[in-house]
Structure formats: structure tokens, C-alpha cells
């Protein structure tokens, strides 16, 4: 690149004044290994004893010696091979079966199968259970094997990547999995870093190299790393082969931005910091080659330490069904016991008297033993209350819902040609129950594209375009953009719409020239010129790139830099400035400055930074300019733009020399170096002259504000977890409308100690409570983690809307065991939460905290490898297929290309999936209890002999043929309201969050209805048949006629019931429902036909029974009466409920019907805006800038939401009252994970 970069000047100055071995570290602090003897500390050589471990084997420190595998192997460090798969060929079958039989239902059916293999108690054939059980196990095993195969394939692809490793003095090609700690690796441009390396040397001057860290922190901008000076010259293989330095450093950990260690070499020691490390997952950029020493490999690397474990995800309905299966089994046992006791009593009192006619089996020697065998027989007969077809049907329905997501054209991104993808089929209904969304920022909410939008120069604002009447023109009404053809070095992609700014440049306006001169000089951008006039800028933050590009197009082109100079082409003339100092940015200063000497010898300081910081450091000589600029800042901030203030100061030579001496002394300080430098910087950055301000638009992804607004109306809380800086995240929060000026307060937690963080959280909770309302004694109830109703009390007492912003270092303390509840309590009481500067593991910890204490479904969405842990931890993980690779997509459960599709995924597909699954389960339990309980009532009239009411073929076909397809059609296609209404009325989503449609209460209602139906199905025909006669006067009652009548009544009743339950009729529903009834009659008549009797006389004995029975009018009247008495109460109840207490979906359907009749137009949408306020938001990079290294060598306005309001019905508040009831019933989280908070 021809650029001299970081650390050149600093080391140059230091080398003049002190021997190299005694120098302080350029970054970081030297650490002396634990238990190092004093003589080694003095001599600076490494200790030779072996690494010590505590008794439990945890690594205390890492020791790695270069080019000495034998020495390093004795520590038994992890290899560089990674493994994310779960099975291998030998373990797949036993492990997978073990996992599947952890499902209660599978164990239940296995137990029944074993019972059916015992001939003394089996009244049904064993194949009725084993075939569907094996089918379910096989389908699940194939799916698991397929998923694990792809994990193996991915692991092999990574582990078999090639890397150049220095072995025995020769560079050899080695697979990544064979790389060991202590090896020296050569990396070339655009290669991935194979392990965590200590940078030794590179092709760039002074050991510099440039990396991209998108896989780690989600940022696509460049980072700079530098080798320590002692190893700069080790670029030769022969020199590297002789390198035998030893590194002693911290043990493996997940802190991406920290590293502490020491290199011992040539009887000297050299401190190491994160600035010297290349982490696995990074990509080498703009550097021809570099060499590194492997410090951490494989699972010990920081990337893998931040990768969460793959967790088996199950929905809340799955967990509830496991509980219900246990309850049903208990109910089954109770029924079996009752019938067994009845059998024992009957055999003792009645059966003993005519054993000649009905003898006992040979194995039965007493009435008690007969009852014992009868118990197991009834267990088998009654097991159909939970048939295995339930689980097959659930998987089929989920598969159908997944295909609907995949086929949804409204979630297809034409620009990227990327469809939405359901990567799992087991979580669809949980999409309809989400309460918390945890979102990444960069690349998820934003495009990470910055645009220079407006500016204020010497009190005049530029950027707006006005028409002939003086009205501000909107984007679509603007004329052609400014023509920059006069500038051959202009970036053709840059667009600006206000021509007056370019005219001011051409007219020689000195203020405008100085404005762009500052932008072209005050930055840390790297310039690369691949061909004449073809410039490429590499910036640490997108903002810096946007500002330098703007200056470039307006004629002030940053061309190149050296450690001591910056060359700028000013309106075609090359001007070289001497770079005297860079006063770099950090989170406390919130500004950066450069001191340059122009060709005339004049020294000037240029500064840019946050308005809240910089305006206080201006000279008070121009109050009018300050006032007008402040007005412009307020205007820009009101539009959600990221603002920045520019100022300058002239320095005389003597003043600068004195200051430079003080700065040099501060930079050489052994302790408090950063504080001393900050104090020196404060001295010179004062009494500056205001030059102007910039406004940058951080482009959001399309539809983000509308999506967030819609999800918020659905009572979904959105937390942003980002690795970016606070100012950037807060500005995006305002742009997304997560944060608004209407909020009572935005709390910012930035404490560096446990006490500071605790105090800030306490003050935030105190401010959130309305002073007029008394909560405990001075809020002390919130300080005690054992106090009941912890969260519900605070949330109920909150007056107004609040937001919480917390930094990563503060979050580390807030997530500690003794403070996590206080943090959760405070955060959950806020409308919006933004966590800044968080590591990937902290993202996962925040998600886990909410999962642990809140009975709520969580969803995590991100686009980078730094989001993988969060995605794996949440109940549902969504990957955005963006600019940062596909790691997030591969780890996700669902993926698509834009954040705005999330609203459709949840409010349409998720809500429908939950609705359909709940209706399916309610109906399925109902129809099977109605079917099975008839056997129970029949037991009292057959001597408790385990005789079935229906014939065996009807029992086999009932769930497979007669009732399977109609309920599948309802489970796949049913809707309560159209998709447009689901988006229009987001409150429709709340029943899923409250789990209203299928819970224990709804289950018992279905069971009660099923039992009621079974009573009528048995006793109505029984009562009729007791007295009825045929047309010829003979007795109607016989076993087979009764069985046909009850079975026919059952099929008709459950078919009519599913017709009532179906809310959205399609041709498929009609065909399946009425077709199933027709198939029933066809099979019934076929089984009682002469043809089957002739072929199988032993199986089909009752020839003509169905025809004779159904030819009797009394039978049809019985069937009709049974159907009416079964269905009529259901119809009456639903009619009364719809009239007296309709739910929201009923109201929406009614509103839709009225609209159709009246053909009323939709109400006009109201534009939502917010008042302006001044904010600063300069997006510096994830870490501090590298200005010192160089010296050494939005908004998208919320558009009209597609929301319509409707007249509130008398029952409109029932969901809110239920939510309050749920919240009030929450227990204290202080008792541990078994007492979750509710909110």
C-alpha cells in the first residue's frame, strides 16, 4: 500500500530515549506470570517450570514456545480441529434413540407395544402400534441424521482448509486441524486466520497488517494490527525458523477486545496486548502476507469460546403435550383400575355361577387375577385417547406451515433473489407466541451504509432543495443531483442534491474551503490507489468514509499519507501537510483532532466530535454563529441524522512545542498513561473556532421503523444488542422509533464497577415509579430479591415510557448473579432496551437471562457470526442473509434477507401456525375421547370383559382414514382472519403470547366435551335399542347393529363438529370432510358384503349387517337425535359467546363484514413524527481509533403505518385484564429459576 502506519512515530520517539528492552508497551500492560520467581522477573527470562493447574484442571495461564512442538505437547492443549456435530456412525443409533425416547409419548407407545405382545391381555393386534411408532422414529432419525451430516460437512470443510506452517525450517501445507499451539503460520491476503495468532511480521512497514472482523463483531470496516518492534524484521523464513521466543499469557477466554501476555526472547520480555493479536475468524485484507505464532487453537480460540452450544429447541406446546400425555396416562390407569375392579367383582358375584357356559382361561384361577388381566386389556383398548397418529399429524402440519413460509412471495427479496426459508419444522407455532425480540444492529436494522446528507457551514445550512415557491422538495420531487464532472477524482456513487454548496466551493468561499479541508485532514482513513485516479478509502467507521468521500467530491481529495504527512488535492492542486499529532478518539473524549502544519508553516488544530462535547470548548466570540449552528443541529437531529460539529484553532510555534513536550512525557508514563494523555489533550482542545456541522444518514433497511412500530403494537418488546458504540446505537434507536422524544427519560448505564452499576439501576427504578404512588417503603421492596411479585409491582407502578441504554462493561457487572435480577427488573419495565459494546457471549447471556426468569418466548435475529450464540440461545433464531457471511443463517431456525419480513413471519405465519395447531389439538383430543370413552361405558354392560364396542377394523381406520384428513386440512389451511387483517390489527397477536388458545384449561374443556359426546353416543342408541323393533316386528338390538349405529353416529358427529370448527373453507376442506364420511360408508358396506365374506369368511362374518341396520328408519332417527344433542349445546354456546363476549378476531371479522356491505373506504393514515432535539452520533469504530498508530510509522422517517383502528367493543379489554392477572400472579424471581418472573 505504500503507507506507513500505526506506532511508527511513537516507537521512533521512544527508541531515541530508552533501550528497547525497557520500553513501555505501545498498548496494553505487561503482565508477570503467576508465581514467577523474583530472579526471573529481574532478569526478564521465562520460568522453566511446567504450567500449574488447580486440582479441577482449569488452565491458569497459557505457555507457548515457538517452533517447539515437543515442549508444547506436554501441556496437552486443544488441537485446531473443531466439532459442531452431535453423532458419528457408531453413536448415531443409540444416542438418537435415547433422545427420541426422552419424549414421553414415544416411551408411552413403546410400553403399549410391549403390552400388545402379551397374548393373554392383548385385545388388539400388535401391528396397530408398532407400524406408526417405527414410522415416527424413522422419520425423526432421518431428519436428525441429515442435519448432522451437514454439520459434519461444514466441520470437514473448515478443518481441511490449507495453511502454510513453518515445520523444520520449511513452509509446508498443512490442514487447519493439524495446526498446533506454538506453530508459526504464514497468511496471505484475503485468507481467513486459522487460529488465534500473535502477529510477528508482515509485508507492510513496521509490522502492520489490516484485518476485517465481521465474523467476530459484525463490523465490516478495517482494523489495524501491528507486531511488536522486536519481531518486525522476522519476515524471512530462515530468521523465523530460529525464533524460539516463549509467550506466557492469559488462559483461553471469550473477551474479544482484551489480551494480556508477555513474550520472552533474547533474555528480554516484551508486553503483548490485543493490538498484537489476529483472532480466528478474521480475514487478512490489503496485506500481501504476514506471519503469526499460534497461541490458542480450535475450541480455545476466542471465536469458539463465544460460540454457544447447539441446543435442542422445543416449543411450549411440545412441553405442554408431554405433561398432558402423563396426565392422560394417569387418567387411563384410573379408568383401567375402575374397570378391573368391576371385572373382579362381576366374576366373583356373577361369572362364578356359569363357568360351564363361560369358563375362565387356564391361567386364570381367581376373580382377582381375572381383574388384573382385565386391567391391562383395558389399558390397551383405551390407549387411543392419545394415538400415535397425533404426533404424525403434528409433524405433517408443521411441515405444511414451513412450506408456506418458503413459498411466500411477499417474503422474497427480488434484489438478492433470496426467499425466506424455514430451516426447521418444529418451531412454527412458537412464532405466534413471541414476546421478546433481541436484534443485532449493524446489517440487521441498518444497511451499514452512511450518506453525507446535509451540512452547516458558517451559519448556513446546505442540503435541502427548494422549489420556485420556496417549499422544500421531497426526494421524489428533486431535480438531478449535483454534477461533479469537473472533478476527475470524484466518486461517481456519491450523490448530493443542493447545488449551492458546490457553487460556494467554486466561488472560493473561505469558510466552505476550510470546512472541506478539515474533513480531508481530520480522520484516520487509509487510501489505496490501484490505478491512476482510482482511489479506494479504507475507513475504521462508515461515517469517516462518508465524510472523506464528501470532501473528495467537492474538490478536497485526500490522496495519500505517510506517518508524518498528509497529501490532499485541493481543487486540482496537490498540497502536502505536515502531520504533527493525532489526538485520537475514545468513548470518553467523543472527539478527535489533528495538528498539521501547512506549506506556509502555519500550525492549525482541526477537531470534529460530538456537539455535546465540542460546543463547550469553543471560543465565546461568535454567539450568533453558535446559535444558528445549534438550530441546524436541532433540525438535523429531528430528522434522525447523525450530527457532528467541526472546529479549528490556530497555534503558534512556541505554544505547540511546549505542548508537544508535555504530550511526549505523558506518552512515556508507566502508570495512568491514558489519563495523562487525556489531560494534555484537554489543554489544547479549547477556545476553538466553530466552523460548522455535518449530518449523516445511516441508512436503515427498508421498512424497519414500520416493522418495529407494528411489532410494538403487538406487545412485543424489542431489545437491541450491538457491538457498536453507544452514540451509534442510540441514534439508530431514534431512527427506528424505538426511542422517541415523547419518552419520559432514556436511562444510560455506564458504570465501571459493581457499585456504580447497582446505583445507576436503582436510580433508574426510582425515577420510573410515579412519586404519587407508594410502592413499599421508599422503593425498598425492589431491593429485596426475595420480595414477592418483584417485576409485576415495578411494571405496574411505572408512570410513562422509559428506555434503558447500557454499555458492555456495565452489562458484565449487571449480569452477575447478585445483580441480574435488578437489571432484568429495570429493563423489563422499560419500553426499549439497547445494549452497546456487547460481546457475542454477552448477547447470549442477556437472552438466557430473559428465558430463565420470564415465562416468555424469545426470538433473536442477526446477520453475522457474532450473533450465532444469541441465535442458538433464543427459543427461535432468525438469520439475515446479509453482507457478513452465512454463519448466522446456518445457525438459525428461519432466514430471510430483510428485517421487515419479520413482521410477516410473526403476525401472519406465526399467528396462523399457532392458531391452526391449537385448533388441531383441541379437536384431536375431543374426537379421540369421544371415540374411546364409549368403551368405558360399554364395560359396565359387558361384564367388564374388555370387549370393544366397535369392530377391530373401525378402531384401526378411525384415526388413519375416517378422521385424519379433515383435521389435517384444518391444521394446514385454517384462518380466522385474512393476512391483511392480521397485519392491520396487531393486537390479534396477543392471545398467542398469553397462550390462550391451547392450555390446560382448554384441554380440560375439550376432554369434557369429548366425554359428554361419548355419553350421548353410547346411551342414546342404547336407550333406543332397548325398546326398538325392526319393520318386521323383531328385536332391533344386537351387538353388531348397535356397533354400526354408534360408529356411524360418531363419524357424523365429529364431521359436523370439525365443520363448525373450520373458520376458512377451501375446496380441500369440503373434499376431505364430506369425502371422509363417504369413504366411511363405502368401507362399512364393503366389509359387510358377500364378496369379502366369500374371500375371508373367518374375518368378515357379519354379512349384510350394515345394509340391514341402516335400512331401518329408527336407526337413522337415532343417529340424527344423537347428532343434534351432541352438537346443539356447542352451537348455542358459541352463539352466546359471539353475541355477549366476542374476542378480537370476532370483532375484526364483524368489522370486515360491515365494510363489505357498506363498501366503506379505509380511514386515512396519520403520519407519525417526533419533535426535534439535538443529539450527537458520530459512529466511531468498535475499538478506539488508530490515529496514534498512524502517527507512529437517519434516519428514514416513519412513514404512514398500514394500521386502521376499529370501534372498541364492550369486551375489548379482556386480553389486557387477563395479562394483568397473569402478571399479578407471577412469583418472585429471587427464589431461583423455578420461580420465573412474568410480565
In tens, the pLDDT along 1138-1148 reads 888 888 888 88
Quote the CA–CA distance of 579 and 582 in Å, as a whole number: 8
How far is residue 631 from each of residues 335, 456, 611, 625, 638, measured CA to CA in Å?
A: 80, 10, 12, 10, 11
pTM of structure? 0.71
pLDDT the model gives residue 129: 66
pLDDT exceeds 60 at position 669: yes
Nine-digit cell string for 220: 465490516
3 state SS of 295: strand
* Beta bridge partners of residue 451, listed in sequence order: 697
pLDDT exceeds 50 at position 1170: no
Highest mean pLDDT among 317-331, 496-510, 627-641, 794-808 belongs to 496-510
Residues 956, 962 contacting (CB under 8 angstroms): no
* Whether 196 is catalytic: no
pLDDT tens digits along 255-282 = 877 788 899 998 888 888 888 999 998 9
pLDDT the model gives residue 1044: 93
Q: How confident is the model at residue 1219 (pLDDT cuts 50, 70, 90)?
A: low
Residues 219, 213 contacting (CB under 8 angstroms): yes
HSE-up of residue 887 (Cα within 13 Å, Cβ side): 22
Which has the closest alpha carbon to 724: 858, 614, 587?
Answer: 587
Among 10-14, 742-746, 977-981, 1000-1004, the range scoring the smallest mean pLDDT is: 10-14
Residues 66, 182 contacting (CB under 8 angstroms): yes
Mean pLDDT of the chain: 81
Quote the CA–CA distance of 197 and 208 in Å, as a whole number: 14
Highest mean pLDDT among 18-32, 182-196, 440-454, 561-575 belongs to 182-196
1208 exposure class (CB count in 10 Å sphere: 0-12, 13-18, 19+): exposed
Whether the CA torsion 186, 187, 192, 197 is positive or negative: it is positive
Quote the CA–CA distance of 886 and 895 in Å, as a whole number: 10
How far is residue 731 from each of residues 456, 601, 636, 698, measured CA to CA in Å?
A: 19, 40, 12, 9
Report the relative pairing of strands 857-862 and 876-880 from DSSP bridges: parallel
* Beta bridge partners of residue 579, listed in sequence order: 596
Residues 1146, 1138 contacting (CB under 8 angstroms): yes
pLDDT exceeds 50 at position 408: yes
pLDDT the model gives residue 1188: 56
pLDDT exceeds 90 at position 520: yes
Residues 760, 800 contacting (CB under 8 angstroms): no
> In 10 A of CB 1163, how many CB atoms?
10
Quote the CA–CA distance of 1114 and 1035 in Å, as a whole number: 12
Nine-digit cell string for 712: 410494538
257 exposure class (CB count in 10 Å sphere: 0-12, 13-18, 19+): middle
Residues 273, 296 contacting (CB under 8 angstroms): no
pLDDT > 90: percent of the chain: 40
pLDDT the model gives residue 1030: 78
pLDDT the model gives residue 575: 94
Quote the CA–CA distance of 140 and 134 in Å, as a whole number: 10
pLDDT the model gives residue 1206: 35
pLDDT the model gives residue 906: 95
Question: Backbone phi, then psi, for 374, in 5-degree steps?
Answer: -65, -35
> How confident is the model over 1053-1076, as a mean pLDDT?
94
Quote the CA–CA distance of 385 and 958 in Å, as a whole number: 12
220 vs 576, higher pLDDT: 576
Residues 960, 389 contacting (CB under 8 angstroms): yes
3 state SS of 337: helix
pLDDT the model gives residue 1121: 96
pLDDT the model gives residue 1186: 55
Q: How confident is the model at residue 406 (pLDDT cuts 50, 70, 90)?
A: very high
Grid look-up 403476525 returns 907
pLDDT tens digits along 751-784 = 889 999 999 999 998 888 854 443 333 333 333 3
Q: How confident is the model at residue 673 (pLDDT cuts 50, 70, 90)?
A: low
Q: How confident is the model at residue 40 (pLDDT cuts 50, 70, 90)?
A: very low
> In 10 A of CB 42, how many CB atoms?
8
pLDDT the model gives residue 35: 34
Quote the CA–CA distance of 527 and 207 in Å, as a whole number: 18
Neighbouring residues of 76: CB distance < 8 A, sequence distance ≥ 6: none
Quote the CA–CA distance of 596 and 441 in Å, as a whole number: 36
pLDDT the model gives residue 15: 35
Q: Residues 440, 611, 867, 951: which is the catalytic one?
A: 440
> How confident is the model over 77-105, as a mean pLDDT?
86
> How confident is the model over 321-342, as a mean pLDDT?
90
Quote the CA–CA distance of 954 and 789 in Å, as a whole number: 53
> In 10 A of CB 1139, how many CB atoms?
9
3 state SS of 305: helix
pLDDT the model gives residue 474: 61
Q: CA angle 519-525-529, nearest 5°?
A: 110
pLDDT > 70: percent of the chain: 82
Residues 209, 193 contacting (CB under 8 angstroms): no
pLDDT the model gives residue 124: 65
pLDDT the model gives residue 1212: 41
pLDDT tens digits along 170-180 = 999 999 999 99
Grid look-up 480466528 returns 280
Quote the CA–CA distance of 658 and 664 in Å, as a whole number: 10
pLDDT the model gives residue 219: 61
Quote the CA–CA distance of 54 and 70 in Å, as a whole number: 23
How far is residue 1166 from each of residues 482, 665, 677, 825, 980, measured CA to CA in Å?
A: 34, 61, 52, 34, 19
pLDDT exceeds 90 at position 213: no
pLDDT the model gives residue 195: 94
Q: How far is CA 1015 from the centre of its chain?
A: 49
3 state SS of 770: coil
565 exposure class (CB count in 10 Å sphere: 0-12, 13-18, 19+): middle
Quote the CA–CA distance of 663 and 651 in Å, as a whole number: 15
Question: Backbone phi, then psi, for 263, in 5-degree steps?
Answer: -100, 125
pLDDT exceeds 90 at position 1179: no
Grid look-up 412441553 returns 319
Whether the CA torsion 44, 49, 51, 57 is positive or negative: it is negative
Quote the CA–CA distance of 846 and 161 in Å, as a whole number: 34
Q: How confident is the model at residue 835 (pLDDT cuts 50, 70, 90)?
A: very high
pLDDT tens digits along 693-716 = 999 887 788 889 999 999 999 999
Which has the closest alpha carbon to 1192: 226, 54, 96?
Answer: 226
Give the DSSP letter of residue 854.
B
pLDDT the model gives residue 128: 60
* Torsion angle defined by CA atoms of residues 1150, 1151, 1155 and 1160, in that order, rounded to the nearest 10 degrees: 160
Q: How confident is the model at residue 928 (pLDDT cuts 50, 70, 90)?
A: very high
Q: CA angle 824-827-829, nearest 5°?
A: 110
Quote the CA–CA distance of 815 and 844 in Å, as a whole number: 11
Amino acid at each position: 500500500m505504500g503507507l506507513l502506519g500505526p506506532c511508527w512515530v511513537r516507537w521512533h520517539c521512544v527508541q531515541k530515549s530508552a533501550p528497547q528492552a525497557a520500553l513501555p508497551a505501545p498498548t496494553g500492560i505487561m503482565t508477570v506470570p503467576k508465581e514467577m520467581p523474583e530472579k526471573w522477573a529481574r532478569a526478564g527470562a521465562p520460568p522453566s517450570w511446567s504450567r500449574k493447574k488447580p486440582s479441577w484442571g482449569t488452565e491458569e495461564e497459557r505457555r507457548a514456545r515457538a517452533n517447539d512442538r515437543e515442549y508444547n505437547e506436554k501441556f496437552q492443549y486443544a488441537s485446531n480441529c473443531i466439532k459442531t456435530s452431535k453423532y458419528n456412525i457408531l453413536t448415531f443409533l443409540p444416542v438418537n434413540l435415547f433422545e427420541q425416547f426422552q419424549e414421553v409419548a414415544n416411551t408411552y407407545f413403546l410400553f403399549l407395544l410391549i403390552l400388545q405382545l402379551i397374548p393373554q391381555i392383548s385385545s388388539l393386534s400388535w401391528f396397530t402400534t408398532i407400524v406408526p411408532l417405527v414410522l415416527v422414529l424413522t422419520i425423526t432419525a432421518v431428519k436428525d441424521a441429515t442435519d448432522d451430516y451437514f454439520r459434519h460437512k461444514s466441520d470437514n470443510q473448515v478443518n481441511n482448509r490449507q495453511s502454510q506452517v513453518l515445520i523444520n525450517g520449511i513452509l509446508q501445507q498443512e490442514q487447519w486441524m493439524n495446526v498446533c499451539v506454538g506453530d508459526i503460520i504464514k497468511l496471505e491476503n484475503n485468507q481467513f486466520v486459522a487460529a488465534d495468532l500473535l502477529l510477528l511480521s508482515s509485508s507492510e512497514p513496521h509490522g502492520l497488517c489490516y484485518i476485517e472482523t465481521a465474523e467476530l463483531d459484525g463490523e465490516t470496516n478495517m482494523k489495524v494490527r501491528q507486531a511488536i518492534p522486536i519481531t518486525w524484521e522476522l519476515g524471512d523464513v530462515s530468521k523465523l525458523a530460529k525464533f524460539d521466543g516463549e509467550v506466557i499469557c492469559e488462559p483461553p477466554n471469550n473477551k474479544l477486545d482484551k489480551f494480556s501476555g508477555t513474550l520472552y526472547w533474547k533474555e528480554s520480555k516484551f508486553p503483548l496486548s490485543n493490538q498484537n493479536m489476529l483472532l480466528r475468524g478474521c480475514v487478512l485484507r490489503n496485506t500481501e502476507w504476514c506471519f503469526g505464532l499460534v497461541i490458542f487453537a480450535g475450541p480455545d480460540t476466542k471465536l469458539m469460546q463465544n460460540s454457544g452450544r447447539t441446543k435442542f429447541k422445543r416449543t411450549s406446546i411440545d412441553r405442554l403435550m408431554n405433561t398432558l400425555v402423563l396426565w392422560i396416562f394417569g387418567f387411563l390407569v384410573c379408568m383401567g383400575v375402575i374397570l378391573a375392579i368391576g371385572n373382579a367383582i362381576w366374576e366373583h358375584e356373577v361369572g362364578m355361577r356359569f363357568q360351564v357356559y363361560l369358563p375362565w382361561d387356564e391361567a386364570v384361577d381367581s376373580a382377582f387375577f381375572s381383574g388384573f388381566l382385565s386391567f391391562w386389556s383395558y389399558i390397551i383398548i383405551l390407549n387411543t385417547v392419545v394415538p400415535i397418529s397425533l404426533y404424525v399429524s403434528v409433524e405433517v402440519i408443521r411441515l405444511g406451515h414451513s412450506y408456506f413460509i418458503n413459498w411466500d412471495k411477499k417474503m422474497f427479496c427480488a434484489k438478492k433473489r433470496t426467499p425466506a426459508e424455514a430451516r426447521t419444522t418444529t418451531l412454527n407455532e412458537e412464532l405466534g407466541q413471541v414476546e421478546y425480540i433481541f436484534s443485532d444492529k449493524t446489517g440487521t436494522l441498518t444497511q451499514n451504509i452512511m450518506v453525507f446528507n446535509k451540512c452547516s457551514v458558517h451559519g448556513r445550512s446546505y442540503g435541502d432543495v427548494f422549489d420556485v415557491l420556496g417549499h422544500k422538495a421531497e426526494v421524489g420531487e428533486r431535480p438531478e443531483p449535483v454534477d461533479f464532472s469537473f472533478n476527475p477524482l470524484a466518486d461517481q456513487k456519491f450523490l448530493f442534491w443542493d447545488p449551492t454548496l458546490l457553487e460556494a466551493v467554486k466561488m472560493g468561499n473561505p469558510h466552505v474551503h476550510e470546512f472541506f479541508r478539515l474533513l480531508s485532514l481530520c480522520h484516520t482513513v487509509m487510501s489505496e490507489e490501484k490505478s491512476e485516479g482510482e482511489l479506494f478509502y479504507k475507513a475504521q467507521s462508515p461515517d469517516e468514509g462518508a465524510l472523506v468521500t464528501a470532501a473528495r467530491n467537492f474538490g478536497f481529495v485526500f490522496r495519500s499519507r505517510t506517518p508524518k504527512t498528509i497529501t490532499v488535492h485541493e481543487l486540482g492542486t496537490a498540497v502536502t501537510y505536515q502531520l504533527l499529532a493525532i489526538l485520537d478518539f475514545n468513548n470518553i473524549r467523543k472527539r478527535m483532532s489533528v495538528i498539521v502544519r501547512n506549506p506556509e508553516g502555519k500550525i492549525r488544530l482541526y477537531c470534529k466530535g460530538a456537539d455535546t462535547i465540542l460546543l463547550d470548548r469553543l471560543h465565546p466570540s461568535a454567539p450568533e454563529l453558535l446559535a444558528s449552528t445549534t438550530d441546524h443541529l436541532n433540525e438535523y437531529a429531528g430528522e434522525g441524522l447523525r450530527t457532528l460539529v467541526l472546529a479549528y484553532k490556530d497555534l503558534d510555534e512556541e505554544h505547540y512545542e511546549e505542548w508537544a513536550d508535555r504530550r511526549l512525557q505523558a506518552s512515556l508514563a508507566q502508570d495512568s498513561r491514558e489519563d495523562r494523555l487525556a489531560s494534555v489533550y484537554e489543554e489544547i482542545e479549547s477556545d476553538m473556532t466553530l466552523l460548522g456541522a455535518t449530518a449523516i444518514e445511516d441508512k436503515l433497511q427498508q421498512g424497519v421503523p414500520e416493522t418495529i412500530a407494528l411489532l410494538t403494537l403487538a406487545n412485543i418488546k424489542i431489545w437491541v444488542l450491538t457491538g457498536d458504540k453507544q452514540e451509534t446505537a442510540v441514534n439508530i434507536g431514534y431512527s427506528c422509533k424505538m426511542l422517541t422524544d415523547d419518552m419520559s427519560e432514556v436511562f444510560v448505564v455506564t458504570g465501571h464497577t459493581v457499585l456504580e452499576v447497582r446505583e445507576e439501576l436503582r436510580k433508574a427504578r426510582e425515577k420510573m415509579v410515579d412519586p404519587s404512588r407508594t410502592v413499599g417503603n421508599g422503593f425498598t421492596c425492589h431491593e429485596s430479591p426475595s420480595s414477592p411479585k418483584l417485576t409485576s409491582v415495578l411494571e405496574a407502578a411505572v408512570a410513562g415510557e422509559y428506555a434503558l441504554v447500557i454499555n458492555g462493561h456495565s452489562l458484565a457487572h449487571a449480569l452477575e448473579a447478585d445483580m441480574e435480577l435488578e437489571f432484568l427488573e429495570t429493563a423489563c419495565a422499560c419500553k426499549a432496551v439497547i445494549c452497546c459494546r456487547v460481546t457475542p457471549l454477552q448477547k447470549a447471556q442477556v437472552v438466557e437471562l430473559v428465558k430463565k426468569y420470564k415465562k416468555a418466548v424469545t426470538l433473536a435475529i442477526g446477520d453475522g457470526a457474532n450473533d450465532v450464540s444469541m441465535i442458538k440461545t433464543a427459543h427461535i433464531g432468525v438469520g439475515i442473509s446479509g453482507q457478513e457471511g452465512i454463519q448466522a443463517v446456518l445457525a438459525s431456525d428461519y432466514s430471510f434477507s430483510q428485517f421487515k419480513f419479520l413482521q410477516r413471519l410473526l403476525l401472519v405465519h406465526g399467528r396462523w401456525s399457532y392458531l391452526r395447531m391449537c385448533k388441531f389439538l383441541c379437536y384431536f383430543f375431543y374426537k379421540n375421547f369421544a371415540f374411546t370413552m364409549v368403551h368405558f361405558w360399554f364395560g359396565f354392560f359387558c361384564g367388564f370383559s374388555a370387549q370393544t364396542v366397535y369392530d377391530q377394523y373401525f378402531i384401526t381406520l378411525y384415526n388413519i382414514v375416517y378422521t385424519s384428513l379433515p383435521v389435517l386440512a384444518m391444521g394446514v389451511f385454517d384462518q380466522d382472519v385474512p393476512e391483511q387483517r392480521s397485519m392491520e390489527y396487531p393486537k390479534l397477536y396477543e392471545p398467542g403470547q398469553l397462550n390462550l388458545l391451547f392450555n390446560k384449561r382448554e384441554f380440560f374443556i375439550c376432554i369434557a366435551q369429548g366425554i359428554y359426546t361419548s355419553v350421548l353416543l353410547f346411551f342414546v342408541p342404547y336407550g333406543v335399542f332397548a325398546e326398538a323393533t325392526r319393520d318386521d316386528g323383531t328385536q332391533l338390538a344386537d351387538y353388531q347393529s348397535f356397533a354400526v349405529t354408534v360408529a356411524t353416529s360418531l363419524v357424523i358427529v365429529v364431521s359436523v363438529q370439525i365443520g363448525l370448527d373450520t373458520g376458512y373453507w377451501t375446496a380441500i376442506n369440503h373434499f376431505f370432510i364430506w369425502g371422509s364420511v363417504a369413504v366411511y360408508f363405502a368401507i362399512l358396506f364393503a366389509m359387510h358384503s358377500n364378496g369379502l365374506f366369500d374371500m375371508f369368511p373367518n374375518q368378515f362374518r357379519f354379512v349384510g349387517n350394515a345394509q340391514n341396520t341402516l335400512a331401518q328408519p329408527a336407526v337413522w332417527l337415532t343417529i340424527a337425535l344423537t347428532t343434534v344433542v351432541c352438537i346443539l349445546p356447542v352451537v348455542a354456546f358459541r352463539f352466546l359467546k359471539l353475541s355477549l363476549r366476542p374476542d378480537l378476531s370476532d370483532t375484526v371479522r364483524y368489522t370486515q363484514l360491515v365494510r363489505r356491505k357498506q363498501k366503506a373506504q379505509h380511514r386515512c393514515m396519520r403520519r407519525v413524527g417526533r419533535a426535534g432535539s439535538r443529539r450527537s452520533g458520530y459512529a466511531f469504530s468498535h475499538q478506539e481509533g488508530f490515529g496514534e498508530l498512524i502517527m507512529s510509522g437517519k434516519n428514514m422517517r416513519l412513514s404512514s403505518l398500514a394500521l386502521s383502528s376499529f370501534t372498541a367493543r364492550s369486551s375489548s379489554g379482556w386480553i389486557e385484564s387477563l395479562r394483568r392477572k397473569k402478571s399479578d400472579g407471577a412469583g418472585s424471581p429471587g427464589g431461583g429459576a423455578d420461580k420465573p418472573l412474568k410480565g
